[in-house]
Amino acid sequence: MSNMSSKLDLSKEFVGRRALVTGGSRGIGAAIAQRLLDAGAKVVVAARSRSDVTPTAATFVSGDVRTSEGVKAIAAETLEALGGLDILVNNAGGSRVFPGGSATIPEEEWQDALALNLLSAIRLTNAVLPALRASKAASVVNISSTAATMPFGPAAHYCAAKAALDAYSRTLAVELAPSGVRVNVVSPGPVATPSADELRRTYPGIPGDAWLQWVPLGRFGATDDIAEVVALLASDRGKWLTGVNYRVDGGMTAR
C-alpha cells in the first residue's frame, strides 16, 4: 500500500523539468504555471505584462507572441534562463467578440486572431524544437477551445483559429512522435476568469448565468480544472498520450 501511495504522490513529478507557459501571467496560464511549479518544475512565464496573480516563483519574460520577433526573443530568453526545455504550453490566446456576427469582424481582427491563437504556437514550437528534441521527456500542450467545434458567429475568427490549432497539433503529434516529443491539446469550455466573466456579464441578450444552460455539470470551470489536465499530459502519467484533445468543459460538447 505504501508503494502505491508513493506512486500517487504528484508533488514532485516535475522535479528536474523545465517549462515555458505563454500567456501565463493571469487566468488559465497562471494556474498552469503554478501547478507545474508546485510539483517541482522550473517555469518561465511569458506575457506582455505581469499581473497580481502572476506566479512569483516563475521567471517572467516579457514579450508579444503575435510577432515573429517577439517569439524569437521569448524563446531565446527562456532557453538562456532554463538551459533547455522539457514542457511547452502554448496558452496565449483570445480575441474580441463582435455581436453583429462574422460579417462584421474586420480583416485586421482576423489577422490578429490568427497571429495570437495559431501562428504564435507554430512559431514558438519551431523556435524551441531543437531543445525539445534534446529532452528525454518532451511535451507540448496547446490550449485550444471548445469554440473550435461549437462555432459562434460573433467570434468566428477565434473559432477558426482554434480549429486550425487543433489540426496543426494532430499533424505535429504524428510528425514528432518518432523523436519522442508528445503533442496534445486541451480545449476548455467556459472557465471562470475575470476577463471571461466580464465578457459573459456584458454580452448583449444573454444574462451571465444563462451560459450555464449549456454545461451539464452546472458550473463554470475553474482554472485549476484546466491546469490539472495539462499536468497529466505533460507528466510521465501521460507518457503514452499524444495527438489527443481533452475537452475540459463540464460535458458541454457531450450534448
Query: Would you please indicate which residues are annotated as catalytic (active-site) residues?
Result: 158
- Among 214, 147, 213, 223, smallest CA distance to 191 is for 223
- Among 110, 150, 158, smallest CA distance to 247 is for 150
CA distance 24 to 46: 6
At which residue does the C-alpha cell 469554440 appear?
147
DSSP structural state of residue 191? B
β strands within the chain, DSSP E: 18-22, 42-47, 59-62, 87-90, 139-143, 182-188, 245-248
At which residue does the C-alpha cell 520577433 appear?
69
CA distance 184 to 174: 11
C-alpha grid cell for residue 170? 494532430
C-alpha grid cell for residue 55? 506566479
